[in-house]
Amino acid sequence: MQRRILHLRHGGTSLVLDPTTPGLPTIVHWGDDLGDLDQPDLDGLALAAVPQRVSGGLDVPARLTLLPLDADGWLGTPGLEGHRDGRVFSPSFGLVGIDADQTTATITAEDGYGGLRLVVELQVTEAGLVRQRLSLTNTGDDDYSVLSLAATFPVPAQATEILDTTGRHLRERTPQRRAFTVGTHLRESRKGRPGADASLLLAAGTSGFGFERGRVHAVHVAWSGNHRLAAERTITAEASLQGSELLAPGEIDLAPGATYSTPWVLGSWGDGLDDLAARFHTELRARASHPARPRPVTLNTWEAVYFDHDLPTLLALAERAAAVGVERFVLDDGWFLGRRDDTAGLGDWTVDPVVWPQGLAPLVDAVRGLGMEFGLWVEPEMVNLDSDLARAHPEWVLQPGGRLPAEGRQQHVLNLADPGAYAHVLESLDALLVEHPISYLKWDHNRELSSAGDARTGHAAVHEHTLALYRLLDELRRRHPGLEIESCASGGARVDLGILERTDRIWTSDCIDPLERLVNQRYTGLLVPPELLGAHVGGPRSHSTHRSHELDLRAGVAFFGHLGIEWDLTTVDDEQLVVLARWVEAHKQARQLLHSGRVVNADLPDETADLRGVVAQDRSRALYAYTQTATSSTYPAGRIHLPGLDPDASYRVRLAAPTTSLGGAGQSPLLWALDGTRTTGRALATTGIQAPVLFPEELVLLEAILIG
Ligand code: DGJ
């Protein structure tokens, strides 16, 4: 087999692979497009990366290959862990084939003694992402138990700082940073879903990297079950990011001939986080399944009525919604059999005859008559023990054997890998979709999984359950073309590119306090483009923080995402409804730009100032939101800069409707804002403009329009 140094290039990214290293090939470069390198230059690049043998170590210096293993001298975290009834604990692979073109490589390696074959699929995508998936086949005569199989991405030595996110219900995606020193920083999800604390990305970059600058690399595991992300720096001067599914003991026991494939693990890089995020956004937007039509402004009934379903109230709400410009009305939790609160009913997906004596039809018809689409909340993977379903099929509940797992929100999880449970859920949902013109499902998932086993086998079942969930979503979408699905999990506890392959929106957080959302949306937005981020305007007082905010702040923060309203509009006065309608209309005017442009975040020195925006791909127009999050540390606040514009073009910058609030009394007019001002994109990105004086927790929109 020929062992030529490979150069994959696409979308501004180069990946150089050295297949001459022991074991699997080694990535010697991931990042900048290196241009059209000839073979001698590629060979020289690979040669230049070979380390020396040093005292105290093994005679063959270890390389960080695509599958680092101790058989090849790698004594850090291995890429594969497993065994064959205790044997074959140290597999050793030899390359048997590489099939490559300019952007992809499929690498096959075998361990003859261990009875294993590995295929690594590598691709540099049009958006400049690098994707990896590993598939391990048991070619031996007895079972091989896989404990872990990870995709490994090297990062440059200059990456000395790690960024990831943590969080909780109502506070997902809180950033945390630390020095990337020798050792391993490990983030695991063991909750059967990524979790509210999940890090969508594990990023490593130059010290102090921000949104606008600083070289940074990051990986994401496109998987909705348990996963593991690790950043590791070894004393041999290698630094890497690893991503994998997290497997429970015995979860993957490969029978002879069987194969386990990891989820896709995606890597991005950039100069600044915005650059890195843009690759993910471009990748998602290029999918055939990416929502193509304008994102319908949504009203969700949850914070308006909770479980108090009452037809006249909901009809009044629908009328108000239509009047302010809503295009999709979503009936949340509380409509199905026995569901008066969150203790009962999950699993029985028929309309409750007590609360809905005439069924859903009167509401659905009214909503559609008002020109809106109808959407419905479901939580298909879940079951309350107080339900007809649990009474009839207790064996469908995920359980470790001999006992039920601890409850969460008084509910359990159905084992979708059980054909009976799968068919029940599929046919129940299908019946609803056949009976009513439902164009949208809000698909919730309100508990963490624990002790999640298959009652039939006693084996850990998150892996198979997750695959069955994917099949279920795929099948429903096949049966109901055009159906849109929102991925919700107590807010944003299931946000990953596995679920987004099959859904059209994520519910970003149950917390719609705009100040909290500024952080949550910024960091969720590193992976997910704005058009897929559910962002709602809540009532004046946040239900989850009890802080109160003006409508402009609430609406201005939601404005950039997939806009919705979650507020009892029947209690809102006419004046506020007019302002709300203005925001909805402004969003409709802007959404084409907001949902196709490049997301930018300014690295501002003042922590009380927040500037973010979206710049059209052709840089002809941009919209920014400037928020004074707390009292300004200087008075007046200093200058703010506007990133992302064409440096060589001139723009007119002005304050944009519908924001109206502008600070308090005692200030002179902001001269540039009187009639807008004109200067170049370069000046706007560097010198910047004087920030308007705002009260704390106020927001204004700014617009930049190209004038030549
Ligand atoms: C959790 C979701 O995040 C909420 O938006 C709402 O749908 C409730 N579940 C309903 O139970």
Q: Which of 193, 305, 308, 332 best tests ligand 1's pocket when mutated (most atoms within 8 Å of CB)?
A: 332
What is the average pLDDT across 657-676? Answer: 82
Q: In the predicted model, is pLDDT for residue 663 greater than 70?
A: no
For ligand 1, atom 2, the nearest C-alpha belongs to 490
pLDDT at 383 over 70: yes
Residue nearest to atom 6 of ligand 1 (CA): 302
Is 444 annotated as catalytic? yes
Report the C-alpha gap between 128 and 268 in whole angstroms.
7
| Active-site residue, from 18, 348, 510, 552 | 510
**Tokens for 525?**
């937005």
Atom 1 in ligand 1: residue holding the nearest Cα: 490
Contact 90, 78 (CB under 8 A): no
pLDDT at site 44: 98
What's the angle, vertex CA 245, arms to CA 504 and CA 410, rounded to 5? 65
Q: CA separation (Å) from 91 to 9, 23, 27, 481?
A: 31, 10, 20, 46
Strand partners, 701: 625, 656
Q: Could you give the CA distance from residue 697 to residue 169 in angstroms, rounded to a whole number?
A: 23
Quick one: average pLDDT of 290-300?
A: 98
pLDDT of 431? 98
* Residue range 26-33: mean pLDDT, rounded: 98
Chain-wide mean pLDDT for the chain?
A: 97
- Domains of the chain (ranges, CATH numbers): 69-285 (2.70.98.60), 599-706 (2.60.40.1180)
- What's the 654 CA to ligand 1 centre distance in angstroms? 39
DSSP, collapsed to helix, strand or coil, labels residue 424 as: helix
507 CA closest ligand 1 atom index: 3
Instruction: Among 36-45, 209-218, 412-421, 627-636, name the one with the lowest average pLDDT.
Output: 627-636
The share of the chain scoring above pLDDT 90, in percent, equals 97
Pocket test for ligand 1, best of 490, 517, 543, 566 (most atoms within 8 A of CB): 490
The predicted pLDDT at position 2 comes to 80
Query: Which one-letter DSSP state was computed for residue 366?
Result: H
The token pair that represents 171 in the structure block: 């506070």
Q: At what angle do helices 551-558 and 514-524 cross, to 10 degrees?
A: 10
Distance 443 CA to ligand 1 centre (A): 9
Ligand 1: residue of 341, 444, 507 to mutate (most ligand atoms within 8 A of CB) is 444
275: left (phi over 0), alpha (psi -120 to 50) or beta: alpha
Tell how far the Cα of 551 is from the centroid of ligand 1, in angstroms.
Answer: 23
Question: DSSP strand E in 295-426: where?
Answer: 298-300, 328-331, 373-378, 382-383, 412-413
The catalytic position among 72, 197, 444, 496 is 444
Question: Cα(488) to centroid of ligand 1, in Å?
Answer: 8
- Residue 153 CA to residue 266 CA, distance in Å, equals 9
Distance 64 CA to ligand 1 centre (A): 44
pLDDT tens per residue across span 481-494: 999 999 999 999 99
406-464 residue pLDDT tens: 999 999 999 999 999 999 999 999 999 999 999 999 999 999 999 999 999 999 999 99
Over range 142-164, report the average pLDDT.
98
Pairing of strands 130-138, 116-124: antiparallel
pLDDT digits (tens, 9 = 90+) for 104-123: 999 999 999 999 999 999 99
* Rg for the chain, CA atoms, rounded: 27
Evaluate if pTM is beyond 0.95: yes
List the 26-32 sheet strands across, edge first: 6-10, 13-18, 26-32
Give strand ranges (E) for 33-115: 80-83, 94-100, 104-111
* 3-state secondary structure (DSSP) of residue 620: coil
* Pairwise CA distance, residues 501 & 189, whole Å: 20
Q: Which residue has the CA at smallest separation from atom 10 of ligand 1? A: 333
How is 552-618 classified by DSSP, letter by letter? Answer: HHHHHHHTTSEEEEES-GGG--HHHHHHHHHHHHHHHHHHHHHTTSEEEE---S-TTEEEEEEE-TT
* DSSP per-residue string spanning 444-503: ---S---S-B-TTT--B-HHHHHHHHHHHHHHHHHHSTT-EEEE-BTTBS--STTGGGS-
> 149 C-alpha to center of ligand 1: Å?
34
Distance CA 73, CA 83 (A): 19
Pair 165, 174: CB distance under 8 Å: yes
Q: Which residues line ligand 1 (CB under 6 A)?
A: 302, 332-333, 377, 444, 446, 488, 490-491, 507, 510
What does DSSP assign to residue 541? B
User: Could you tell me the distance, in angstroms and rounded to a whole number, from the CA of residue 416 to the centre of ligand 1?
Assistant: 21
Which residue has a Cα nearest atom 9 of ligand 1?
A: 490
The single-letter DSSP state of residue 57 is S
Please choose, from the candidates 399, 382, 368, the residue with its C-alpha nearest in 3D space to the C-alpha of residue 444. Answer: 382
Given this model, what pLDDT does residue 344 score?
98
pLDDT in tens, 316-361: 999 999 999 999 999 999 999 999 999 999 999 999 999 999 999 9
Atom of ligand 1 nearest to the CA of 377: 7
Q: Pick the atom of ligand 1 nearest to 566's CA.
A: 5
Average pLDDT over residues 168-177: 98
